[in-house]
Amino acid sequence: MKKQCQAYAPEVLSRFADNELDDVLYRQIQAHTDGCNQCRQVIDGYRQVSQAASHAIASKVSTFDTGGLGTAVIERVAPQKSGGFKKVFDYFSLKLYLKVASVAAVMVLGLAYFQDTPLNMNMREFSELREPSAIVTSVDARSSVMIFETEKSKHTVIWFSET
Amino acid sequence: MLVKQYQGMLLNIAYSITLDREESLEIVQDVFVKACSGIKGFRQDASLGGWLRKITINTCLNWKRKWKRRFRWSHDPIESDDDWILKDVDQSGSNPENQYREKEFEENIMKQISKLPEKIRVVFVLNALEGMSYDEIAEHLNIKRGTVSSRLHHARKILMDSFKSL
């Protein structure tokens, strides 16, 4: 078996293969490899190993299913909001017509509450009541009744509860 | 989109370091999330690809959570070689025999790469895959340029010796 050329250390040839030598040494080795088949083969072998590895890895990775990667990233990057901030954020993310409709609904209900309709008057009076006029517990002890009477309009409200 | 443009490059790096498909997909996903949340830290004068690559390498090297699984891979692959080759042969086109041989060759290379110690493998794949210079690798991994050179040579020697014995 022919002895391997010892002119340059294998690591130096490896650096030559990567063009990682200073100009002087690079040119020396280049001149040497013109006449030395062994060193040239070593350098070619180093380059081929790198190329083959690169190709094998890329080929393997190309079989991966990366379809959901973009979606997964977007889902994780989306603002992580919670509680009240989330509700506020959700509100502002609503479509314009939904925002307008919700504001209009609040205004209508607010105005209606302050209108002096009989029902509203009773409701306001009822909400101001502190204690019921009477509490009746039924005979069978399974139900009870509370009776309220509004002060001004004298309307009676009966609240019935069955246990 | 950012993900589509860089996912291939980042997956190559992540897979060649972790040697695990699921882990590399998770890592790349993490990298994009980190990149999006830390985009303010990106210097305009730097390359976006280089910045993402650096995050990927750091994430891979810090990915200790599934260390045992990674160790197992090199000894007990989830997909057997035959399964993988047969699957590809089934999908092959005009020349199944060549494709079979090519896949077999690639699979052998992957096997030999997976046997390299991680420190050596990382240097090797950054050079072979990304064409990174010794200085760039040294900076990324925080090691000396001479260490890059010796590890790279060591990786090549191991791989070439293993191919000779095939």
Mean pLDDT of chain B: 79
Q: Find, among A102, A153, A98, A145, the residue nearest to A123 by Cα.
A: A153
What pLDDT digit, counting tens, does each position of B24-34 carry?
A: 999 999 888 88
Res B100 pLDDT > 90: no
Enter the CATH code of domain B1-78. Answer: 1.10.1740
What are the strands, taking DSSP E only, across B15-96? none
Res B91 pLDDT > 50: no
A120: in domain: no
Sequence-distant (6+) residues with CB within 8 A of B42 are B35, B48, B51
Instruction: Spell out the domain ranges in chain B.
Output: 1-78, 116-166
DSSP A70-128: HHHHHHHHS----HHHHHHHHHHTS-HHHHHHHHHHHHHHHHHHHS--HHHHHHHHHHH
Angstrom distance (rounded) from CA B69 to CA B76: 10
Distance of CA A9 to the CA centre of its chain: 54
Task: Count CB atoms within 10 A of the CB of residue B15.
Answer: 25
Least confident of A68-77, B105-114, B141-150: A68-77
Tokens of B24: 């590399």
Residue contact B106–A59, C-beta within 8 A: yes
Confidence (pLDDT) at B1? 65
- Global model pTM greater than 0.80: no
Least confident of A43-52, B37-46, B55-64, B117-126: B37-46
A93: in domain: yes
Distance (Å) from the C-alpha of residue A76 to the closest C-alpha of chain B?
7
Confidence (pLDDT) at A38? 93
Size of interface A-B (CB pairs under 8 A): 101
| Rounded alpha-carbon distances, angstroms, from residue B107 to A3, A69, B155, B161 | 32, 25, 17, 16
Q: What is the 8-class DSSP label of residue A64? A: S
Are A55 and A92 in the same domain?
A: no
Sequence-distant (6+) residues with CB within 8 A of B109 are A52, A53, A56, B159
Q: For chain A, which residues score pLDDT lower than 50?
A: 81-85, 88-89
Confidence (pLDDT) at A127? 65
Res B40 pLDDT > 80: no
Expressed in angstroms, the distance from the first to the final Cα of chain A is 104
Confidence (pLDDT) at B146? 95
A88: in domain: yes
Confidence (pLDDT) at A121? 64
Confidence (pLDDT) at A50? 92
Helix/strand/coil percentages in chain B, nearest 5: 80, 0, 20
Residues of B in contact with A73 (CB under 8 A): 3, 29, 32-33, 36
A141: in domain: yes
Least confident of A137-151, B16-30, B131-145: A137-151
| Rounded alpha-carbon distances, angstroms, from residue A51 to A26, A48, A117, B10 | 21, 5, 87, 18
Q: Scanning the structure block, which residue is given the tokens 């009822």?
A: A126
Expressed in angstroms, the distance from the first to the final Cα of chain B is 43
Q: Which residue has the higher pLDDT, B14 or A130?
A: B14
A157: in domain: yes
Residues spanned by the domain of A105: 84-115
Res B73 pLDDT > 80: no
A1: in domain: no
| Confidence label for B90 from pLDDT (cuts 50, 70 and 90) | very low
Residue contact A53–B163, C-beta within 8 A: no
Task: Count CB atoms within 10 A of the CB of residue B13.
Answer: 27
Mutation target to probe the B interface, by most B beta carbons within 10 A, among A8, A15, A73 is A73
Residue contact A60–B110, C-beta within 8 A: yes
Asked if B138 and B145 touch (Cβ cutoff 8 Å), the reply is yes
Number of domains within chain A: 3
- Assign domain B116-166 to a CATH class: mainly alpha
Confidence (pLDDT) at B92? 45
Q: What is the 8-class DSSP label of residue B40? A: G
A135: in domain: yes
Are A107 and A133 in the same domain?
A: no
Asked if B17 and B59 touch (Cβ cutoff 8 Å), the reply is no
Percent of residues, chain B, with pLDDT higher than 90: 31
Confidence (pLDDT) at B61? 85
3-class DSSP state of A136 = strand
